[in-house]
Amino acid sequence: MKVLVTGGAGYIGSHTVVELIKAGHQAVILDNLSNSEAFIIDRINELTGRSTPFYQKDFANKAKISQLLKKEQIEGIIHFAAFKQVGESVTKPLKYYRNNVGGLISLLEAISDSNIKYFVFSSSCTVYGEPDSLPVTEDSPVKPATSPYGASKQMDEVILKDFSAASSKLSALALRYFNPIGAHPSARIGELPIGTPANLVPFITQTAAGIREKLIVYGNDYPTEDGTCIRDYIHVVDLARAHVKAIDFLSGRQAGQFDFFNIGTGKGSSVVEVINTFEQVTGVKLNYVFGPRREGDIISTYAAVDKANKMLNWKADKSLEEALLDAWNWQQTLAKK
């Protein structure tokens, strides 16, 4: 299948392009490089041994996307391109609604004039809000979002479901990620935050590398065993493979259908546990301090992944230790780039 990957030069997108090609699909990368770097395209080509078509365009430009879909004869789309910082979304909500919601509408309008049959959407466990019970299953209620970022993902899923139902040719699904971490085992691609990291692991690796003086842990007074938030941390390569499984799954589905799947490990780890594990696998001690809670953060969440295991024939294989070591190896290569 020929698949357009929006945000394909980004963290999860780049790993997914590599896994798509590895599985025998063709990929086309679309990225405006607002949150990624052009050299990642070269790294993707190096890892795959191919020259993957790359277009530096905005996914919300309906006219240009329509032309691209026809030119490349795209059959499926994996849509990553979105703003994703929870904290920033609280202070700049319109930025998130304009890009994440308005942009998706423009992309779907472009699809209306194309032969796209399959659409995989990059969603998030934030659609569940603060869960009533753990682990979180796909039957767990979608509660009011704790941030505009989470709200934008909820809206996007509703829009995609309604659009699919009205379509005579499109089938779609949403992958509700938990917390992607790690890097490609080759250390050639990985998470590349621009400015101050919004996620835990790049903050850890940058602190370990001496780029940052200290790591701030936001809150140590949560009702958890060590007082810090609990998340389900999944290796980015496992997550990338889930997208390949999702495209394969959709190829056997009838048009007009929409579904969603949790993508995680099924295990929660606290912030302190992640820090301790990083120190154990790398031998590097971290300078960290506790700070106040961060607005928009939930206390604890981790996934039930039975549905993805069964229906997508997918499961996470890599451990927290592997993910943290891969992230550290990647961080060390950045100094040599």
Active-site residues, by number, are: 149
Residue 291: strand pairing partners: 218
Tokens of 49: 């041994």
- Overall size of the chain counted in residues: 337
Tokens 């679309």: give the residue. Answer: 30
**Contact at 8 Å (CB) between 31 and 8?**
yes
91-101: buried (b, 16+ CB within 10 Å) or exposed (e) per residue?
A: eeeeebbebbb
d(CA 191, CA 14): 10
Radius of gyration of the chain (CA): 19
**Closest to 231 measured CA to CA, from 197, 191, 199, 185:** 199
CA 281 – CA 78 distance, rounded (Å): 33
- Compute CA distances 253 → 246, 257, 304, whole Å: 11, 7, 23
The runs of H, that is alpha helices, within 167-318 are 200-208, 236-250, 271-282, 306-311
Query: Which residues on adjacent β-strands are paired with residue 235?
Result: 181
Say if residues 282 and 207 touch (Cβ distance below 8 Å). Answer: no
